[in-house]
Amino acid sequence: MMHVPFFRPSITDAEVAAVTGVLRSGWLTTGPRCREFETRFAEAVAARHAVALSSCTSALHLALEALGVRGGDLVLVPALTFAATAEVACHLGAVPVFVDVDAKTLCMDAAAAGRTLAVLREGRPIAGLAPPYGAVRAIVPVHYGGLVADVVGLRRLAAEHGVAVVEDCAHAFPAQYRDDGWRPAGAGADVACWSFYANKTITTGEGGMATTDRPDRADRIRCMSLHGMSQDAWRRFERGGSWDYEIVAAGHKYNLTDLAAALGLVQLERANELWQRRRTLAARYTEALAGIAEIDLPVEPEDRRSAWHLYAVRVHHGARDAVVKRLRERGVGTSVHWRPLPLQPYYRDRWGYRPETFPVAAREFPRLISLPIFPDMTEAEQDHVVRELRSALATAKS
């Protein structure tokens, strides 16, 4: 029987050579490869500044810090997201306020965000949250599966309320959205945060990036990524650099290594090729699964081009777990993105979140299955997934 994993990284001899080159270079940690990765990545997402970091989680943390999120502040986060998006608000002593998602895109619903902001402004309770409320500082949309959220609507809302937009772009490289013309995901965000985790669309093993057009924000993020030092370590070792530095804040240790950046530079060069392969696979899934009544397929509105990090289908109610189990038995790896975060014990118990506060996320989560999609997936592997999914759905129905 054929085995199709949920994900397999795409690593060529070029990545191996680039990392080996760094190993032989005498400089392993943050240095020239990181600087080059920052420059090229900033170009790719049309941002003025980029700071290479150890993860998207650290990028989100430092983005909120740089935007002035402090104890007691509120941060709006979609109910359907990964732990990282909300935990960083908690690290700063802020309160994550969860907002429901749009039924079609599974991204934060701008209308729901507007209603949440109105409720907060009027000082009415949300779940177990009670007034008096702190200031809302930021909205953090997630581009679910690689499809850009309604950033135009969310930015308009943010501007009306005087709050920042930090985009969780962990899935979204190199997605695009149409505003005046086609723009890369993250372009126009106050800060955009990217992930190069092993199974994301390009990888450095572990790694991340923060991008922004504002030099003061980039400087603050860079400073806080390396112990709050006034100048970073690699500049200290440059010719003419000094041993001296000032510690201006209690920072973190969130820098990226040159080993990782060298890997990232090759992946970045291959990003379009990797993306086109994902787009082809997504189109093939959509064609092969189109006729099946029991599932809903992911959408790509005509004003967006998904990065296709995920291909998440929704099965009819009650069938999901049986289908996942059957696929596993038939050699197909899948995943679920995600149990709504506010229903996880920590958020549920600490702030009293209940499914009624996010009816769409609560209704759609039990239907979600993410199918394997990765650039090196063969057509034979994809055909196996389609065949086994059809059969699992038929079995679950009977």
Ligand X SMILES: *Cc1c(COP(=O)(O)O)cnc(C)c1O
* Interacting residues with ligand X (CB under 6 A): 55-57, 81-82, 84-85, 142, 168, 170-171, 195, 197, 208
Beta strand 176-178 with 182-184: parallel, antiparallel or unpaired? antiparallel
Q: At what angle do helices 215-225 and 56-66 cross, to 10 degrees?
A: 120
* CB 240, min distance to ligand X, A: 34
Q: Which residues contact 191 (CB under 8 A, 6 or more apart)?
A: 59, 63, 66, 67, 164, 166, 167, 210, 211, 212, 217, 221
As beta bridge partners, residue 91 has none
Nearer of residues 42 and 393 to ligand X, judged by Cβ: 42
Whether residue 330 contacts residue 3, with contact meaning beta carbons closer than 8 Å, is answered with: no
Q: Exposed/middle/buried for 101, CB within 10 Å: 0-12, 13-18, 19+?
A: buried
* CB 47, min distance to ligand X, A: 18
* CB 207, min distance to ligand X, A: 7
Nearer of residues 80 and 313 to ligand X, judged by Cβ: 80
Q: Which of 104, 200, 325, 397 is catalytic?
A: 200
Query: What is d(CA 158, CA 152) in angstroms, rounded to the nearest whole number?
Result: 10
Q: State CA 197 to chain mean position distance.
A: 10
As beta bridge partners, residue 108 has 101
Query: What is d(CA 119, CA 134) in angstroms, rounded to the nearest whole number?
Result: 13
Whether 200 sits among the annotated catalytic residues: the reply is yes
Nearer of residues 195 and 382 to ligand X, judged by Cβ: 195
- The pair of structure tokens assigned to 132 is 């008096």
φ, ψ dihedrals at 165, nearest 5°: -115, 115
Whether residue 62 contacts residue 228, with contact meaning beta carbons closer than 8 Å, is answered with: no
Nearer of residues 55 and 255 to ligand X, judged by Cβ: 55
Whether residue 261 contacts residue 27, with contact meaning beta carbons closer than 8 Å, is answered with: no
Whether residue 30 contacts residue 233, with contact meaning beta carbons closer than 8 Å, is answered with: yes
Query: What is d(CA 257, CA 237) in angstroms, rounded to the nearest whole number?
Result: 15
Backbone φ/ψ region at 251: left (φ over 0), alpha (ψ -120 to 50), beta = beta
Nearer of residues 19 and 307 to ligand X, judged by Cβ: 307
Whether residue 209 contacts residue 41, with contact meaning beta carbons closer than 8 Å, is answered with: yes
Nearer of residues 55 and 334 to ligand X, judged by Cβ: 55
Query: What is d(CA 169, CA 336) in angstroms, rounded to the nearest whole number?
Result: 19
* CB 340, min distance to ligand X, A: 13
As beta bridge partners, residue 176 has 184, 305
Backbone φ/ψ region at 39: left (φ over 0), alpha (ψ -120 to 50), beta = alpha
Nearer of residues 187 and 209 to ligand X, judged by Cβ: 209
Catalytic annotation, residues:
200
